[in-house]
Structure 1
């Protein structure tokens, strides 16, 4: 139960505390302490009716007690919006808005783009540093340094904890979209709660910026992907698109996502998120037009310059009927530390009948796998070969 509450409430609790204390490190410490107290008390006293409110109140009071113990309350009390935290001050609607404020705070243009995205994933998504490092394809120590630099700069420069004025939103929208996209990706892997949270944030963002096509494109992309979540796994087994039971797809959510995509296109959207949403929509059609999807991925490569997108383009080329060309494209990429690079190579080599090389590629992928579904899938491929 506590683990589920953590997943549901971490971002909301931390968002409230960051605005309350004006300090990321203090906020994280206070949130962790509140969850530790909950782990001790709730098994005995039961979960309170409003666990989020209880956690925020406990964390705020613990933070104030710590400031008092450090004999700095007099100098810091002006940073605190209330003298004490009490339960009836916790407004669920306000906390939802505070999470959006936290995103825009972390995405301040004074911070480097990668630092903006990484800090928000840590603060809002509750992701561990290792998970964020994996999303960025960098070592964990590198990510630790990025996070520390971002926190220190926010503290040193006094970046305000508030949504900027409407005229300033375009300066931050790229980073905000990237944050929500990566939160959704973590949910797409195996953390469904984060996928749902990313969609909620996407809805808030499109309401805030109704004429931004890329915001609508991202929301459409997430909704269509999330609609297939029940079919992606069979127990602990990962199920590929071709093998998914389409009766498990949420057709209402897919239709809603396509309507949002139509809105993005009507606004003139032709950017990366709109193109990805087009691809996702086409993948849910009864007959998938892989040559057209390959062309869309080629356009996406031009927009992003991402080697991961080039890898996806190669997969589409293979699905369109040319695994040899796909393998040549994959072998030109420098993605040795990326799990899906090796699993894709393994699949292409298997289709070309080069089983010994495919075995080596799948073994390397298995070394990089971090989740049970990934390991089970790769182990199954090895056993088949």
Structure 2
């Protein structure tokens, strides 16, 4: 069903969007997104009365959303601009490598135990590096904090499930 509509309507939707907006790449992306949405929705909600019109409307709205988003970004791009003085200051204070990113990655809750093990291995390999020892200390603190929260939650749950004694 969708394959037949794809063959029949792809060219029409694409040509309509290309003519309206004058951007072939944008028209193609929006047409693809419209057919992807159709492939997701039509089996659940049923085929619309005019599939070509539905696809054209969805694709046109996608293009309009994209153009609005690009216009808003262009209007606010100057807020993201960094002056040369600020950039030089950041370059002097920034880490030469991705240490900060590594710290955040190692302290991620999903990697807690593995990260602490990795930190211990790094500390054993590079005992003279203060950054590695600081990273290990930070990871162990974060791990201990998560363990305390889990323990506290499990204690609260156990106390709620214990039978209540009789009144005297």
Higher relative contact order (CA closer than 8 Å, sequence separation 6+): 2
TM (norm. structure 2) is 0.42
| Greater Rg over alpha carbons, structure | 2
